[in-house]
Structure 1
Amino acid sequence: MPSILYSTTCYISNDFYRLRIYVDDGNNYSDLVSPKNIKLATDSLDFTATSIPIDHIKPSFTRLNFELLNEKKPNNNIPTTIPLKYLLNVQQTTSLPKNSYRNFSTSLPTPSLETSSRMISLTSSPILEQSEERSRIMLTPNSSQAMFKRRQFSFRRFLSSFSNTDSDVVLLYKTLIKIKYIDVSNSFQWNIKSLELEMDSEDIANELYINLNSCLSTLEQRPHRLLAFVNPLSGKGRARYVYDKKVLPVFQEANIFVDTIYTERANHAQEYIVNEMLDDYDGLICVGGDGMFAELCHGLLLRTARDEQINIDDPHVNIIRPNLRIGIIPAGSTDAVVFGTTGLNDPITSALQIIVGESLLIDITTVHNENGFVRFMATMLAYGFFGDIIYQSDNWRCLGPLRYDLAGFCQFLRHTSYHTELTITLSSHDSVEICHPQTITSINNGSKTSIVSSDCQKLINSSNSTLTEMNSMNKSYDIISKLPTSNLGFCRQNCETCAEEKQTNRNKDQLPSQIKREGRYTTINCLNMPCRCAKSKYGMSPFVHLGDGTFDLILVKRSWRTSFLRFLWQVANDSRSIEDLPNVERYRVREVLIRPINKGQRKKAGNWACDGELISGNEIQIRVHRQALNLFASGIKLKEKQQHIDSKSETTNWFPCMRNTKKKISQESNS
């Protein structure tokens, strides 16, 4: 049963409400701002006082409840509950009711010049707190003394003031508590909303103001001081406007102090983070695109490695997670990191998630060549086609963002492939895993698992002998069947896959499985995130997880231009079934060594690109580090989205490729 800490009444939009601050048991209520049909039992009152002791406040389970006491239809704009974590700030003000000014101002006598000057001196008196939003009505009977009455406005009190001959000036106003909160009813895009609570007296308003601020003081996960780096050139020069006009006022409303640095050159932010003191800050903020995030990521990880005396040039060393979190305000051209961690690139949503103190642990991969450490990878490393695009576009910077499209068209016409050898360390110690929107299959000692129907089981049993033979030849991945399953593996908020312990910790004595691949590939891509952006609806790898200690390896074999064009089309439109293409292979791996092979050929090797930056090396080794970085982000809230729409339409909306498969299985089972 919930415990009620404080209870009072108030008016909201002329409707009478009961406001309760309560602590639930953590099981009965969701984190949505406005759940329906929530009732608090009157006998659940365990503790009630005019002043709430901080010890009784449990930040994760404390909420505000609004119960309509009038016999009216509830206003949909008034939330039923507001979780404490989404409360932005509380202000106490005074204001004149708008309806009183509209109805009675025309009948009031015009004050004289002497009376007006006396009003001005009175309104500047410290007796009343000033507010920008306060409006006033002055009544001027024939008496000589002024008297102020603080009370809730009503027509009866207003009319009775005309008969009061003992007052010279009467200032009528109401005491308000203004609450600003974060509306998360839309799971992806967060907004700021406000409520004005009209209290019966100033004493009650003071009590509520003190209690609400006491509750806010218990939110220890919220940052208090941040350091922001703004790239003024990012996103066609709009980053500074986004930060100054949209984001900074939101931080100020939440009483968060922000030190701001406008970067002047490349790697300015990285150098500052490595060399300057950061002990006074609770987090770092980057305002810009993925390149700006890469600077903060490198600066923070390199500083931590230096402080912990880690030899970053050793490809087998484990990096340590920094203590500071990184927040990202999207203002770039792609914003792949924000798309992958919040679901959209909205600056206000990202700022609000920073204020709330959301936390998301993501994987980071280290990239080494034959000489040592090269870079950290947060999103994507590419060899071949996409690396060649980055290399070519650097020569056409004068064309702006158009250079990427032009370079891509040129590389498509060239249609170059590269002879490459890969050593792949698989994600689990005893299986070959291939993630697919219709299947999650694995081969373990010649047997196949993750079966969802009896028909699928019969198919697998009939092919076990063939799979065993091919597994011994390291070619089993060429004939793995793709079977339908409902577990599609989207990474989301509170993802169970990312929360699991490392599989390597369960059997430390067993060595990880490795396979080798060799051939001619048009492009080789390692993805730590889905890499969604405006030009790719789902990204190249929609089902990669952000914190499970693995990344996706996508190999595109040499083929006709039409086949490669189909691959590019699916990346742009719907890549959930991209491995259905005959020239595409996808593996979930922990480590991969990519070694280009040039056997006396005149053709040069392809270009490498990591997070949009060119790198060099005769061979590249990529190794993942599980949950090595902490972000101010919530993850994609697919679960809340499913609560608001029908499950059937949700399946159709998110997974249209499953519709025909499920229908076929149903028809076969009925027959």
Structure 2
Amino acid sequence: MKDVFSVKLKRRRFVGQKKGGTLLGITLFVCLKKEDNKLKDSTVNFNNLSEDHCHEWFRCLKEILNGFQNRPKSLKVFVNPNSHEREAPHIYYEQVAPLFKLADIQTDVTVTEYKGHALSVLKECELQAFDGVVCVGGDGSISEVAHGLLLKAQMDAGKETDYILTPVRAPVPFGIIPAGHIQPVDICTFSSPSKLLRFGFSAMFAFGARTLALAEKHRWMPPNQRKDFAVIRTLASLKPEECELSFLPLNNPQQCFQENDRMKKDGIKKSDSKDQWHKIEGHFLNVSIMAIPCLCAMAPRGLAPNTRLNNGSLALIVVRNTSRADFIKHLKRYASVKNQFNFPFVETYTAQEVKIQPTLKNGFETEDNVPEGGNYPWNIDGDLMEGALEVHVRVHPQLINLYGVSIDDLDDSKATCGCL
């Protein structure tokens, strides 16, 4: 019965007849698991011409369905009309909304009109009126809704939102094409020394951020063309960033052993503080900080395949300065079965917290990507963030619930994202 999401009385009606009709039995609407981790709705018909029997079975089945406590009855839905090549509204109203109606789920739909619209709505939203929040859109929309949902949770808890050390959990689950189950998911806070910048799942600095910054300056291009142009242009002017990385390793014996071995090999300094912060200094072509695997078309196994949705860890991936040819080889391996980290200039760590402080250069200039005045670009969940010199990233385990299946069941997923 857990695969059944609705039950209806089955009737024969004439053309144009909307009510009544000859009772034929009952119909169960079920959710079937198909190949490629996809779900498909189907029906199971039970024929019975007895009105009493049909109504009795209908009542009993309804009671069973209503007894599933985690099933939502009311959802707040955000639809980005510009996502998926402007197909998001069609996807929602033609495919998703009918299923919500069939499952007797009430919805309050907001079609976003500008960047930040979902965030402003969530700040004023009474979340206790809903059983969940659903987003129909791309990476930017999902990140904005997740940020707004957690920010509203802090506001409702009476917390100071300028700087949050221990955020409270989101009060309702978050859905990205809901699949019926609920699982907790890790999320990060990105903060400057004085204030909270935003909530998010992943971040890139240097190449990943420069590429996004350049793409944002050419929004007039079609999305795929803009993305390819930005990658090629950034590779053509590939430059390392000089900065200092500090990270607090995850307290896992096996991982700590591997990381300590690497630190001895690479001569990485370990701080004297009781928290055992580790520091890396140098020139880096790219720095990635991921709380989730980030499955995407260019990386079927994920940009950070060694992490999971809810294991309380950050994957810190550091690419030191090397030749353009070697860096391109590293990027190409994301799309293959080969280990993209098996290069002498690539280092990976498992951390709880990460701090990045670029070395500010006097008179620093770049042709395309880096703003003047030392305001370095950051790529956070495919969304451009500027204006922060030093950023502190801290993972908060299982801070938000997500409608969906476990990432361990998605090894062959064809999921896509726009992190680059």
Shift of 1:566: 0.7
Q: Residues 181-220 of structure 1: CA distance to partner in whole angstroms, max 9, x if unpaired? A: 1112547111111111122633332322222112112112
Please list the CA deviations of residues 355-393 of structure 1 after superposition, one character each: whole Å capped at 9, or x if unmatched.
x3x212111111112342212122x21111111111111
- How far is 1:249 from its partner? 0.5
Question: In the alignment, is residue 579 of structure 1 matched against residue 341 of structure 2?
Answer: yes
Residue 233 of structure 1 corresponds to 82
Name the CA shift for 1:242/1:303 in 2 (closer, same or farther; >3 Å). same
Equivalent position to 1:415, from 226, 238, 257: 238
Q: Is 1:622 equivalent to 2:393 in the alignment? A: yes
Larger radius of gyration: 1
Residues of 2 paired with 1:562 and 1:595: CA distance? 27
Q: Could you tell me the percent identity over the aligned residues? A: 25
Partner of 2:326: 563
TM-score normalized by the length of structure 2: 0.87
Are residues 1:529 and 2:419 paired? no
In structure 2, C-alpha distance between the alignment counterparts of 1:397 and 1:280, rounded to whole Å: 37
1:312 is matched with which residue? Answer: 161
- CA drift at 1:248: 0.4
Distance 2:138 2:293 in 1: 16
Alignment partners' CA distance in 1, 2:308 and 2:64: 35
- Alpha-carbon distance in 2 for matches of 1:552, 1:469: 16
Matched, 1:597 2:359: yes
Q: Which SS does the other structure have where 1:362 is aligned?
A: strand
| Distance in 2 between residues matched to 1:469 and 1:288, nearest whole Å | 41
Q: Give, in angstroms, the shift of residue 405 of structure 1.
A: 0.9
2:258 to 433, 436, 442: 442
Conserved in 1, the CA contact under 8 Å of 2:269 and 2:280? no
Q: How many residues align?
A: 401
Distance in 2 between residues matched to 1:248 and 1:86, nearest whole Å: 19
Letter paired with 1:272: V
Q: Distance in 1 between matches of 2:259 and 2:194?
A: 36
Structure 2 contact 193–391 (Cα < 8 Å) conserved: yes
One-letter identity of the residue aligned with 1:320: V
* Contact 2:147/2:200, CA 8 A, preserved across alignment: no
Task: Tell me if structure 1 keeps the 8 A contact 2:330–2:341.
Answer: no
Unaligned runs of 5+ in 2: 367-373, 414-420
SS of 1:618's partner is: coil
| SS of residue paired to 1:634 | coil
Distance 2:48 2:263 in 1: 78
1:322 aligns with 2:199: no
SS across alignment from 2:216:
helix
The residue aligned with 2:381 is 611
Q: Match of 2:258, SS? A: strand
- Please tell me whether the aligned partners of residues 184 and 191 of structure 1 are also in contact (alpha carbons under 8 angstroms): yes
CA contact (8 A) 1:539 1:572 kept: no
Partner Cα distance (1:599, 1:214) in 2: 67
Deviates more, 1:195-204 or 1:205-214: 195-204
- 2:41 aligns to what SS in structure 1? strand
CA distance in 2, matches of 1:364, 1:207: 46
How far does residue 303 in structure 1 lie from its aligned partner after superposition? Answer: 1.6
Contact map agreement 1:383 1:525 (CA 8 A) in 2:
yes
Provide the residue aligned with 1:217 in structure 2. Answer: 66
Contact 1:326 1:630 in 2 (8 A): yes
Equivalent residue, structure 2, for 1:470: 264
Q: Give the direction of change, closer, same or farther, for the CA distance of 1:609–1:638 in structure 2 (3 Å limit).
A: closer
- Relative distance call for 1:539 and 1:187 in structure 2 (3 A) is closer
**Is the partner of 2:205 in helix, strand or coil?**
strand
Which whole-Å deviations, capped at 9, do the CAs of 1:69-97 have from their partners, x for residues lacking one? xxxxxxxxxxxxxxx1211222222459x
**1:115-264 superposed matches below 5 A:** 130-131=20-21, 175-184=24-33, 186=35, 188-199=37-48, 201-264=50-113
Q: For residues 363 and 222 of structure 2, what CA distance do their matches in structure 1 show?
A: 35
CA distance in 1, matches of 2:84, 2:266: 51
Q: How does 1:10-25 map to 2 (within 5 A)?
A: none
Give distance in 1, aligned partners of 2:235 and 2:36. Answer: 38
Q: Residues 384 and 417 of structure 1 are in contact (CA less than 8 Å); yes or no, is this contact kept in structure 2?
A: yes
Q: Which residue pairs with 2:369 in the alignment? A: none
Q: Give the structure 2 partner of residue 638 of structure 1.
A: 409
Kept in 2: contact 1:374–1:615 (CA 8 A): no
Output aligned runs, 1:232-381, within 5 Å. Answer: 232-314=81-163, 317-328=165-176, 350-351=177-178, 353=179, 356=180, 358-378=181-201, 380-381=202-203
Aligned mates of 1:469, 1:266 — CA distance in 2? 42
What runs of 5+ residues in structure 1 fail to find an aligned partner?
A: 1-83, 97-118, 135-173, 329-349, 435-440, 445-466, 477-509, 642-652, 655-671
Q: Tell me the amino acid that sits aligned with residue 404 of structure 1.
A: K
Q: Distance in 1 between matches of 2:132 and 2:345?
A: 44
Aligned to 1:662: none
* CA apart distance, 1:292: 1.2
CA distance in 2, matches of 1:511, 1:579: 30
* 1:497 paired residue number: none
Matched position secondary structure for 1:320: coil
Q: Which has the higher contact order (CA 8 A, sep 6+)?
A: 2
**C-alpha deviation, 1:314, in angstroms:** 3.2
More strand by share: 2
Residues 183, 405 of structure 2: 8 Å contact kept: yes
Q: Which whole-Å CA distance do the structure 2 matches of 1:534 and 1:608 have between them?
A: 21
Partners in 2 of 1:309 and 1:205 — Cα distance? 51
Which amino acid in 1 is paired with 2:170? Answer: P
Deviations 1:387-424 (A, max 9, x none): 11111112111102111210110110111111111111
Residues 1:383 and 2:205 are matched in the alignment: yes
Relative to structure 1, is the Cα distance of residues 560 and 85 closer, same or farther in structure 2, using a 3 angstrom cutoff? same
Secondary structure, aligned partner of 1:209: helix
3-state secondary structure, aligned to 1:594: strand
Q: Which amino acid aligns with 1:636?
A: I
CA contact (8 A) 2:79 2:88 kept: yes
Counterpart CA distance in 2 for 1:411 and 1:262 is: 34
For residues 332 and 113 of structure 2, the distance between their equivalents in structure 1, rounded to whole angstroms, comes to 38
Asked if 2 retains the 8 angstrom alpha-carbon contact of 1:550 and 1:624, the reply is: yes
* Matched letter for residue 220 of structure 1: Q
TM-score by length of 1: 0.55
SS in 2 for 1:85: coil
Alignment RMSD: 3.1
- Are the structure 2 counterparts of residues 365 and 555 from structure 1 closer, same or farther at C-alpha, using a change threshold of 3 Å? same
* Amino acid paired to 1:410: R
> Does structure 1 retain, via aligned residues, the 8 Å contact 2:118–2:148?
yes
